[in-house]
């Protein structure tokens, strides 16, 4: 890695104006940092990869272009090939880049599930992720109309892949979701899910 977190954040700020998308990327970043520490990898590096993985979605808002065209920008900006390869691997079907490294499996496993957790926090009156219990997320999971864009089957599949690749098959779906929730609760201020979005009557 030849880039700093500040450089990664500047890239996000340049290309991403939507607060919801920024929140998603910050959430994935927090989850990636959590898992790097758990698995014995560099938390700072995994945090950066999680942060920038969707940096081009606003300018390439379809899977014909994202993340393939984003990789061209990263290469032009001097990002290293290992980072670019990991980002390309989070949409293997479109890029042809398969997941191989632990970081690849972690990124895809942490990606979509953050959306359900964010949505669960935002429907609480307090708008505070500290108030979200795992059982609340489980209840929302069962209601497929809630955060309908979160593909439950896909999350289940990529979590199983992550479990096999990095935990000898011992990480189950709800332990994983609990870990992501914990990581996001630790970054509540960065995610602005610390109650500040509450609108009092």
Residue 198 has pLDDT above 80, yes or no: no
Which pLDDT tens digit goes with each residue over 23-51? 999 999 999 999 999 999 999 999 999 99
- Dmax (CA) of the chain: 51
* pLDDT at residue number 94: 75
Mean pLDDT of all residues in 94-122? 95
pLDDT confidence band for 59 (50 / 70 / 90): confident
Report whether 70 contacts 95 (CB < 8 A).
no
Upper half-sphere CA count for residue 71 (Cβ side, 13 Å): 20
Residue 157 has pLDDT above 50, yes or no: yes
Share of the chain above pLDDT 70, in %: 98
Residue 67 has pLDDT above 50, yes or no: yes
Which of the two residues, 131 and 69, has the higher pLDDT score?
A: 131
Instruction: Kindly report the number of other CB atoms within 10 A of residue 102's CB atom.
Output: 18
Provide the 8-state DSSP code for 129. Answer: G
Q: Is the pTM of this model over 0.75?
A: yes
Residue 100 has pLDDT above 50, yes or no: yes
Q: How far is CA 136 from CA 7, 8, 98, 131, 199, in A?
A: 36, 32, 34, 10, 21
Which of the two residues, 62 and 177, has the higher pLDDT score?
A: 177
Residue 1 has pLDDT above 70, yes or no: no
Residue 197 has pLDDT above 70, yes or no: yes
Burial of 14 (0-12, 13-18, 19+ CB in 10 A): exposed
Report whether 193 contacts 123 (CB < 8 A).
no
Q: How far is CA 160 from CA 102, 105, 124, 156, 174, in A?
A: 13, 10, 29, 6, 11
Pairwise CA distance, residues 50 & 8, whole Å:
10
Pairwise CA distance, residues 189 & 137, whole Å:
20
Mean pLDDT of all residues in 93-103? 90
Instruction: Kindly report the number of other CB atoms within 10 A of residue 198's CB atom.
Output: 11
Reference 7, options 74, 63, 71, 64; nearest CA is 74
pLDDT confidence band for 201 (50 / 70 / 90): very low
Q: What is the mean pLDDT of the chain?
A: 94
Those residues with Cβ within 8 angstroms of residue 18's Cβ, 6 or more apart along the chain or in another chain: 58
* pLDDT at residue number 190: 96
Lowest mean pLDDT among 36-45, 89-98, 146-155: 89-98
């Amino acid at each position: 890695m030849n880039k700093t977190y500040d450089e990664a954040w500047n890239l996000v700020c340049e290309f991403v104006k939507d607060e919801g998308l920024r929140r998603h990327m910050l959430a994935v970043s927090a989850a990636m940092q959590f898992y790097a520490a758990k698995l014995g990898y560099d938390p700072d590096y995994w945090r950066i990869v999680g942060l920038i993985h969707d940096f081009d979605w606003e300018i390439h808002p379809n899977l014909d272009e994202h993340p393939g065209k984003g990789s061209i920008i990263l290469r032009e900006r001097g990002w290293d090939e290992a980072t670019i390869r990991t980002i390309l691997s989070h949409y293997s079907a479109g890029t042809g880049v398969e997941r191989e490294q632990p970081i690849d499996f972690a990124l895809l496993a942490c990606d979509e599930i953050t959306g359900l957790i964010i949505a669960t926090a935002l429907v609480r009156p307090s708008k505070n992720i500290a108030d979200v219990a795992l059982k609340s997320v489980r209840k929302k999971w069962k209601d497929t109309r809630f955060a309908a864009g979160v593909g439950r089957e896909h999350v289940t599949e990529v979590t199983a892949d992550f479990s096999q690749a990095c935990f000898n098959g011992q990480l189950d779906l709800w332990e994983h979701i609990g870990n992501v929730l914990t990581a996001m609760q630790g970054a509540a201020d960065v995610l602005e899910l610390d109650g500040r979005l509450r609108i009092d009557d």
